[in-house]
Amino acid sequence: MQKNWNILSSDDTVVSELAKALNVSEIVAHLLVLRGISTFDAAKLFFRPEISHLHDPYLMKGMQNAVDRIELAIAKSQKILVYGDYDVDGTTSVAMMYSFLQKQEIEIEYYIPCRYEEGYGISLKGIDYAKENNFELIIALDCGIRAVNQVDYANEKGVDFIICDHHHPGDKIPEAVAILNPKQTDCDYPYKELSGCGVGFKLIQAFSQKNDIDFSEIMEYLDLLTVSIGADIVPMTGENRVFSFYGLQQINSNPRVGLKALMEVANKTKDVTITDVVFGVAPRINAAGRIEHAKKAVEILVEKDYLKAKLFADKIEENNIARRGLDQSITKEALEMIDKSKKSTVVHSENWHKGVVGIVASRLIENYYKPTIVLAEKDGILTGSARSVHDFDLYSAIAKCSHLCEKFGGHKYAAGLSIKKENLPQFIEEFEKAVSDTITDDQLTPKINIDKVIDIDAVDDKLYRIIKQFSPFGPKNLSPIFVSKGVVDNGYGKQVGADKTHLRINAKRINGSIAGIGFGMGDCFENIKDNQTFDVCYSIDENEWNGRKSLQMRLRDLKPSS
């Protein structure tokens, strides 16, 4: 698939001044300026995140009401139900809040809705469960901002709600005791990009401040918060960067036993990065809810006995293997259904497993780059996930068709929705129109943002050591991507892998060569053989083989030199 290379630019004067102030190369200074860092003080905050950089949680609208309501529940010995969505952000949020409130000597339980019977968000079944079991307060995490009718239902039954959410609010806000969501238009909280777990953590932080609990006593929850930040693909800036910086330290030094067990089955036990969390830990937490029930994910995350956690992890790994099989088979079927003439994709089947449709949507975009919705059918209702392409507001496109949805919610780039089967043909037509009317040709072509064009000889250990200090990586602070032009392979490049789908190159340099690996790029071998010159797009990482580490290029794209 053709990709556009977008070379990012910065102010040369600002770069030069920053390079002198920090005593770094102009390559490094340029990378910092692209990330909004243009002064010595800003660079210090970036490279040395501190807990003191976190904002006062009471700046968030509704925080005082939320803390007061929890304190009232404790004073009156009221039961609290911690309720969260079934994805990684939701389950980590529930595990975090449940673990914290357990220490406050209050009767507490947690509730995760069944993906298949209750669907996304707050369910009436969950509220009925709370009422039937004498819970007077529900703390909802990573969901609830659009649950107007559900909260009205709870109010009628005498069940209060505190909502901790980070999704976009609708036109009407639920009548909850307190709503914590920095995306509310009248909320003055300085940082708007928290995960759902992040909003929950700010409630814990606020309660702790009020009740003289030292911050050091709540730092243990930063490992769960870091997993949520990585999995939910929120920007790695501001508070998210501070949380992840310290959360990764904890994951690598003293993780909770559940995370330790999950990392072991993922073969990620040392030098764990955000990438390891996103591709190793998060899919396994998700697999519990996709194949069985997401309550299993919370169980392992709150477990304190390592041997029990190991048994949980082994079962979750079985679910993960099953999930991969479903993912592959459904993707294959879905690819055959795509209408290549349209600018959007909507595919569905009554035979598909609802738990993997989001993954399948992402897979389809890798093959046909356009806004995509994948739906699974049950009892006349189609439920599924939507994924977008760069810079296209998927949420707004679905909103234009929302009169045909039973419910929907999400972000600019990802959403969930459910539709009655009889409404699907009209939805497909209106969604295609909403997309076609607003999407550009540029948005329909994959784009790689290139931080800088550099000479292949500029890649060295010193540059890599500094780039490692840019971590944790994530949206708005991605691992730097470079382009080197006029590169020649030394003749040892080849297609690798059992089916020859990957590419290994050895780029000539003044002193020797540097290796590069490109997964799924085997077809590019034709552009590097026989001393052809080519331009290569890559990030820098480290390869470890037989105990020896060496720099390598992680290839992103490759083109013949023009």
Give the closest residue to 408 by CA, choosing from 223, 226, 167. Answer: 167
CB atoms within 10 A of CB 407: 16
Report pLDDT digits (tens) over 447-493.
999 999 999 999 999 999 999 999 999 999 999 999 999 999 999 99
Report pLDDT digits (tens) over 240-256.
999 999 999 999 999 99
Could you say which DSSP state residue 233 is in?
T
Report pLDDT digits (tens) over 494-510.
999 988 999 999 999 99
| Claim to verify: residue 541 and residue 430 sit in the same structural domain | no
| Claim to verify: residue 73 and residue 162 sit in the same structural domain | yes
Classify residue 262: in a domain, yes or no: no
| Claim to verify: residue 474 and residue 413 sit in the same structural domain | no
Which residues share a beta bridge with 407? Answer: 418
> Which residue, chain included where needed, has tokens 């800036």?
237
| Claim to verify: residue 483 and residue 407 sit in the same structural domain | no
HEC string of 470-507 equals: CCCCECCECCCCEEEEEEEECCCCEEECCCCCEEEEEE
Amino acid 289: pLDDT: 67
Could you say which DSSP state residue 279 is in?
I
Classify residue 287: in a domain, yes or no: no
| Claim to verify: residue 82 and residue 218 sit in the same structural domain | yes
pLDDT band at residue 353 under the 50/70/90 scheme = confident
Q: In the predicted model, what is the mean pLDDT of residues 417-442? A: 95
Ramachandran region of residue 31, left (φ > 0), alpha (ψ -120 to 50) or beta? alpha
Q: How far apart are CA 19 and CA 28, in angstroms?
A: 8
| Claim to verify: residue 462 and residue 552 sit in the same structural domain | yes
Name the domain boundary from 238, 254, 270.
254
* pTM of the full structure: 0.89
Give the dihedral sign, CA 464/466/471/475: negative
Classify residue 554: in a domain, yes or no: yes
Amino acid 168: pLDDT: 86
Q: How far apart are CA 228 and CA 92, in angstroms?
A: 6
Edge-to-edge strands of the sheet including 178-180? 108-111, 79-84, 135-141, 160-164, 178-180
At 175, the amino acid letter reads: E
pLDDT band at residue 201 under the 50/70/90 scheme = very high
Name the domain boundary from 393, 411, 438.
438
Provide the H-helix boundaries in 254-335.
257-265, 274-276, 282-291, 295-302, 306-335
Per-residue burial over 28-52, b = 16 or more CB atoms within 10 Å of its CB, e = otherwise? bbbbbbbbebbeeeebeebeebeee
Q: At 526, which CATH number?
A: 2.40.50.460
Q: At 408, which CATH number?
A: 3.10.310.30
Report pLDDT digits (tens) over 537-552.
999 999 888 878 899 9
| Claim to verify: residue 386 and residue 492 sit in the same structural domain | no
Classify residue 517: in a domain, yes or no: yes
Structure-block tokens of residue 54: 């976190």
Classify residue 272: in a domain, yes or no: no
Residue percentage of the chain with pLDDT more than 70: 99
Q: At 179, which CATH number?
A: 3.90.1640.30
| Claim to verify: residue 122 and residue 208 sit in the same structural domain | yes
pLDDT band at residue 290 under the 50/70/90 scheme = low
Q: How far apart are CA 373 and CA 361, in angstroms?
A: 6
Q: What is the mean pLDDT of the chain?
A: 93
Amino acid 233: pLDDT: 85
| Claim to verify: residue 411 and residue 491 sit in the same structural domain | no
Classify residue 327: in a domain, yes or no: no
Per-residue burial over 230-262, b = 16 or more CB atoms within 10 Å of its CB, e = otherwise? bbbebbbbbbbbbbbbbbbebbbeebbbbbbbb
> Which residue, chain included where needed, has tokens 């992402």?
362
pLDDT band at residue 313 under the 50/70/90 scheme = very high
Q: In the predicted model, what is the mean pLDDT of residues 20-49? A: 96
pLDDT band at residue 554 under the 50/70/90 scheme = very high
- β pairing state of 79-84 and 108-111: parallel
Structure-block tokens of residue 88: 């990684």
HEC string of 127-191 equals: HHHHHHCCEEEEEEECCCCCCHHHHHHHHHCCCEEEEECCCCCCCCCCCCCEEECCCCCCCCCCC
Number of domains in the chain: 3
Strands (E), 318-442: 345-349, 372-378, 381-387, 405-410, 414-420
Q: How far apart are CA 37 and CA 450, in angstroms?
A: 17
Classify residue 261: in a domain, yes or no: no
Residue span of the structural domain in which 82 resides: 57-254
- Given a cut of 80, whether residue 294 has pLDDT beyond it is no
For the chain, how far is it from start to end, CA to CA, in angstroms? Answer: 18
Q: Mean pLDDT highest for which of 51-65, 313-327, 377-391?
A: 51-65
Give the closest residue to 470 by CA, choosing from 539, 543, 551, 553. Answer: 539
| Claim to verify: residue 470 and residue 507 sit in the same structural domain | yes
pLDDT band at residue 292 under the 50/70/90 scheme = low
Classify residue 547: in a domain, yes or no: yes
CA 504 vs CA 115, 495, 496: distances in Å: 41, 6, 7
* Cβ-contact 283, 314 below 8 angstroms: no
Q: In the predicted model, what is the mean pLDDT of residues 415-436? A: 95
- Given a cut of 70, whether residue 49 has pLDDT beyond it is yes
- β pairing state of 178-180 and 135-141: unpaired
Name the domain boundary from 229, 254, 279.
254
Amino acid 354: pLDDT: 79
Structure-block tokens of residue 457: 């000889």
Angle between helices 257-265 and 222-231 (to 10 degrees): 40
Amino acid 105: pLDDT: 83
Q: How far apart are CA 112 and CA 295, in angstroms?
A: 6
CB atoms within 10 A of CB 202: 26
Report pLDDT digits (tens) over 111-152.
999 877 787 789 999 999 999 999 999 999 999 999 999 999
| Claim to verify: residue 464 and residue 486 sit in the same structural domain | yes
| Claim to verify: residue 432 and residue 462 sit in the same structural domain | no
Q: How far apart are CA 161 and CA 80, in angstroms?
A: 10
